[in-house]
Amino acid sequence: MNLTLILFYVLAVAAVATATGLLLSRNSVYAALFLVLNFATVAIFYLLLGAPFIALVQVTVYAGAIMVLFLFVIMLLGAEKLPRGQVLPWQRPLAIGLAALLLVEAGFLLYQRLQTTAILAAPGAELNTTATLQTLGMALFNQYLLPFEVTSILLLVAMIGAIVLTKQVKGEQA
């Protein structure tokens, strides 16, 4: 039982707890904050796996930018308190059915993998210390150039879409 393994279990409990908190809290500001905590614990997982770049990007992009925008929208719309509201009659059985399906699938995969090899190397067993900015950049721009460019075009299209949607037509008041 080394230190990394203890840290892993503590973080695993924290990640599951924050995810549960996100689902169960009735106040959507609290739900968003639970999600931020969840992102932070996942970032520490990345650090444990020896990927500091991914960890910090996770914090900057997800916790720092996207979740702030979520909070912004929640507060701007005043949608903090979820109403008790009606539940769609078919929603609950469908959700239970799909969740059961997912569990069965995950269990089957786990069972199959267990028979061939160990699922994963033990956390912290071999730290990939080569994940520097240079190697990452080289991999992105050589080996994965096409997916990288496709992603950038997708993001550009989304950006243009947002601008077009919010553009004011001349003479029309906002």
Partner 1 sequence: MNFALILEWLIKAIVLVLLLLGGFAYLTLYERKALARIQMRVGPNRAGPWGILQPIADAVKLIFKEELMPAQADKLLFFLAPVVTLVPALVITAVVPWGPTLHVFGRDITLYIADINVGVLYIMSVASIAVYGIVLAGWSSNNKYAMMGGLRSTAQMISYEIALGLSFVGVILLAGSASMTEIVTAQKSAWFVLLQPVGTVIFLIATLAEVNRAPFDMPEAEQELTAGYHSEYSGMKFALLFMAEYDKMIAICSIAATLFFGGYREFWFLSNTILSVDRTPWLGPIYIFIKIFVLLFGMIWVRATFPRIRYDRLMAFGWKVMLPLSLALIFITATFILLAQQLNNNLLLAGIPVVSLLVGLAAIVLVNRMLRRKEYARA
48 within 8 A of 8, measured Cβ to Cβ: yes
Q: Are 70 and 43 in contact (CB under 8 A)?
A: no
Q: How far is the CB of 88 from partner 1 (least distance, A)?
A: 30
- Residue 77 within binding range of partner 1, rule CB under 8 A: no
Shortest Å, Cβ 16 to partner 1: 22
Q: Closest by alpha carbon to 55, among 46, 65, 63?
A: 46
CB 34, CB 25: distance < 8 Å: yes
Q: Which is nearer to partner 1, 7 or 71 (CB)?
A: 71
Q: Is 79 in the site for partner 1 (CB under 8 A)?
A: no
Stretch that binds partner 1, among 64-72, 101-109, 110-118, 143-151 (CB under 8 A): 64-72
Q: What is the DSSP string of 75-88?
A: HHHT--BPP--PPP
With a CB cutoff of 8 Å and minimum separation 6, the contacts of 81 are 26, 27, 28
- What type of residue sits at position 85? G
Give the separation between CA 61 and CA 64, rounded to whole angstroms.
5
Based on the shown chain and the rule CB under 8 A, indicate whether residue 35 belongs to the binding site for partner 1: no
Between 112 and 129, CB nearer to partner 1: 129
60 binds partner 1 (CB under 8 A): yes
Per DSSP, the three-state class of 171 is coil
Q: Is 164 one of the binding residues for partner 1 (CB under 8 A)?
A: no
Binding mask 14-33 for partner 1 (x = CB under 8 A): ---------------x---x
Binding-site ranges for partner 1 (CB under 8 A): 29, 33, 36, 52-53, 56-57, 59-60, 63-65, 68-69, 71-72, 75-76, 132-133
